[in-house]
Structure 1
Amino acid sequence: MTPTSYRFRGAAAALFIVPLGLAACSSHPASAPSATSSATSASSSATAAPATGGTAAPAACPTTPVNVVVSVDQWGDIASELAGKCGNVKTILASSSVDPHDYEPSPSDGAAFTGAQLVVVNGADYDPWASKLAATSAPNAPVVDAGKVTNTAEGGNPHLWYNPSAVTAVADAVTAALTKLEPKASDYFTTQRASFTTAMKPYDDLIAKIKAGASGKSYAATETVFDYQAQALGLVNKTPAGYMTASANETDPSPADIAAFTQALSNRQIDVLIYNTQTEGSIPQQLRDAATKAGVPVVDVTETVPPGKTSFEGWQDGQLTALAKALGVAV
């Protein structure tokens, strides 16, 4: 969703109380100074680290590395692991302080796309600027669009990296695209894909354990960012309907909606509150305070890869481990 009154912020930023407002994804102004220079990064390097479990990447790329441009870091980390040394991966938005929805690309972003041989975007109206740049600046480059890969309906939840099946599908699509571009590296990319599967095993195991131990338990969320993951875990969404409708329509919830939410928390009708720490505003803080007062566990999640996390799976594993603890599941 596009932002209303909240401000998207980095994980280390202070929480400022602002007037009421509700948004699934919020931002600093999209044209904030130095957003591009700080967010455009080659930190998703061409060299993949050994995957968890001891499966190391091949020693060298057998062909010329593929130039890959990725719109956002949620997919940038994955693309970098899949490409390994056979990819020069540049992620345009690698900053938790910039909202991809309304980002205004700079000329340097257009230049980055010009040299792309492969483009990876989220799609689903999450990063439309990236799809436009791909069409104008890299018209001959194949595009892996997560929304199209997963057949996400128009207006659907765009936070596809929180959908385990979407992560698998997009990883497969990226590997297929890389292999088609550089057939000589087919075995290399196959090995990289297997290494990624190994690295994701703790993530898969956490999902399986939480689903086995907490399926049917309830959650409510200040935003929809985690909903795909919650569904995969078998959790029941008890976010009040009026609040969810306001969120879907990108409008402020009514006082009655907020009261229903806080009452449900106070009555312990909700087992856990999912809280996006990359937003700021009086409403989510009010809900967090109500949960804390009622003794309802609060699990912090983020929309983008937070500072200090060096891999997609490390980011996700940490959040799932915190959720398991909140739900009383041993992992």
Structure 2
Amino acid sequence: MRLLTASFALALPLALSSCGSDEGSSTSAGTPPPSEGGCPTTPVDVVVSVDQWGDIVSQVGGACADVTTVVASSSVDPHDFEPTPADAAMFDGAQLVVINGGHYDEWAAKLAASSAPDAPVINAVELSGHEGEAGHDHEGEAGHSHEGEEGHDHAGEGNPHVWYNPMVVNEVAEAVTAHLKELAPDAADYLDERHGEFENVMKPYNDAIATIRSGAQGRTYAATESVFDDMANALGMQNRTPEGYQAASANEAEPSPADLDAFLRLLGDRGVDVLIYNTQTEGSVPEQIRAAAEQAGVPVVDVTETVPPNTESFQTWQVGQLDALAEALGVPA
């Protein structure tokens, strides 16, 4: 995340404020119904860097995956996270590691290499096909304001928020299942069943995307940052965020007065159908942008970068935001 925060313009069915639980906890909220019986073999020790992926890993692994999520707190920016010796110890003995990749959680890749060198690593950004391009926007998590900090040149790099890419979500789930079956071959049938259950639980998410896409093709949006861009692209929406503002946002820099003015004029002229607003970021610039949208009557759709606390599952988090977007666009959800 980065320079942005606010209150809701469209109430979501979830309390969206950030990640799921305390750091270092095992994420299992919202898992599919348990498969018949427990794991038929010794569970696989899995370490996940961030909770955007932790719940998905728990869902597909079930009783055959002992999942530990390192960063599961909205107060921590995964990019800037500095692991303690206790955090590093979580990787000791890990049989499988799941990271986001794309410079979002480089610390996790380093800890996996040093503390679990024999463990396969699933890198979500690599699965997206953008490894080597993607760079974190350095957007601060909830409660983090990066105004005035020295910027970093990340303009033109890929978007690391790939948990908002429906294809990558599916690919990560498939990769986790495949690796777990290799590590626990006696649990292959159980894991296939878990994956089938996961696909069933994903149906409302996939149905919402398909339904909204049919009514949102060509609709326009602007965003205070890039977190939701992959999902908007999957929905066939057009991004009209001023390029200068996007570049400043990617570089963790204040937009120039001209770039900010271009954004405010875009909203004032109702040049987009919706404004996508990350509620987990703070600063006067996004607050100005939100106020301009509200004054002009442009609907504001609140999203978060990380999983809100007390959220049932990854799917309910995502579907809640999709429902809010559908309402803002006036299309079926």
Same-fold call, TM cutoff 0.5: yes
Give the one of 86, 90, 98 matched to 2:76: 98
Instruction: State the alpha-carbon separation in 2 of the partners of residues 7 and 40 from structure 1.
Output: 27
Alignment TM-score, normalising by the size of structure 2: 0.86
Give the one of 189, 198, 201 matched to 2:200: 198
Contact residue 274 and residue 301 of structure 2 kept, 8 A: yes
Instruction: State the alpha-carbon separation in 2 of the partners of residues 151 and 208 from structure 1.
Output: 23
Contact residue 44 and residue 91 of structure 1 kept, 8 A: no
Aligned to 1:116: 94
Give the one of 48, 64, 67 matched to 1:70: 48
Aligned to 2:117: 139
Aligned to 2:147: none
Identity %: 59
Q: 2:250 aligned with 1:245, yes or no?
A: no
Instruction: State the alpha-carbon separation in 1 of the partners of residues 36 and 285 from structure 2.
Output: 49
Contact residue 72 and residue 94 of structure 1 kept, 8 A: yes
Structure 2 unpaired stretches of 5+: 9-17, 134-156
Aligned to 2:171: 169
Q: Which amino acid aligns with 1:108?
A: A
Aligned to 1:19: none
Q: Which amino acid aligns with 1:85?
A: A
Aligned to 2:302: 300
Aligned to 2:106: 128
Give the one of 267, 271, 275 matched to 1:265: 267
Contact residue 25 and residue 68 of structure 2 kept, 8 A: yes
Cα shift at 1:57: 2.3
Cα shift at 1:179: 0.5
Instruction: State the alpha-carbon separation in 1 of the partners of residues 200 and 4 from structure 2.
Output: 36
Q: Residues 64-120 of structure 1, C-alpha deviation per residue, up to 9 Å, x if partnerless?
A: 111100000000000000100111101001111110001000111111100211100
Q: 2:17 aligned with 1:39, yes or no?
A: no
Contact residue 8 and residue 97 of structure 1 kept, 8 A: no
Cα shift at 1:271: 0.4
Aligned to 2:229: 227
Which has the larger displacement, 72-81 or 302-311?
Answer: 302-311
Structure 1 unpaired stretches of 5+: 13-26, 28-36, 51-55
Aligned to 1:21: none
Contact residue 32 and residue 198 of structure 2 kept, 8 A: no
Instruction: State the alpha-carbon separation in 2 of the partners of residues 146 and 229 from structure 1.
Output: 15
Cα distance change on mapping 1:152 and 1:328 into 2, 3 Å:
same
Cα shift at 1:147: 1.5
Give SS of 2:294's match.
helix
Instruction: State the alpha-carbon separation in 2 of the partners of residues 8 and 143 from structure 1.
Output: 33
Cα shift at 1:150: 2.0
Instruction: State the alpha-carbon separation in 1 of the partners of residues 321 and 165 from structure 2.
Output: 14
Contact residue 58 and residue 191 of structure 1 kept, 8 A: no
Cα shift at 1:58: 2.7
Give SS of 2:258's match.
helix
Q: What RMSD in Å do the two structures reach over aligned CA positions?
A: 2.0
Give SS of 2:36's match.
coil
Aligned pair count reads 298
Cα distance change on mapping 1:142 and 1:168 into 2, 3 Å:
same
Give SS of 1:213's match.
helix
Aligned to 1:24: none
Give the one of 51, 74, 79 matched to 2:57: 79
Instruction: State the alpha-carbon separation in 2 of the partners of residues 251 and 196 from structure 1.
Output: 40
Give the one of 302, 310, 313 matched to 1:311: 313
Contact residue 214 and residue 235 of structure 1 kept, 8 A: yes
Instruction: State the alpha-carbon separation in 2 of the partners of residues 274 and 207 from structure 1.
Output: 16
Q: 2:187 aligned with 1:189, yes or no?
A: no
Instruction: State the alpha-carbon separation in 1 of the partners of residues 304 and 268 from structure 2.
Output: 25
Instruction: State the alpha-carbon separation in 2 of the partners of residues 117 and 183 from structure 1.
Output: 14
Which has the larger displacement, 146-155 or 258-267?
Answer: 146-155
Instruction: State the alpha-carbon separation in 1 of the partners of residues 99 and 36 from structure 2.
Output: 27
Give the one of 34, 38, 43 matched to 1:60: 38
Cα shift at 1:39: 1.5
Alignment TM-score, normalising by the size of structure 1: 0.86
Aligned to 1:286: 288
Contact residue 48 and residue 57 of structure 1 kept, 8 A: no
Contact residue 83 and residue 189 of structure 1 kept, 8 A: yes
Give SS of 2:305's match.
coil
Instruction: State the alpha-carbon separation in 1 of the partners of residues 297 and 42 from structure 2.
Output: 56
Cα distance change on mapping 1:8 and 1:110 into 2, 3 Å:
farther
Cα shift at 1:7: 7.8
Q: Which amino acid aligns with 2:87?
A: D
Q: Residues 141-165 of structure 1, C-alpha deviation per residue, up to 9 Å, x if partnerless?
A: 1111111222214231100100001
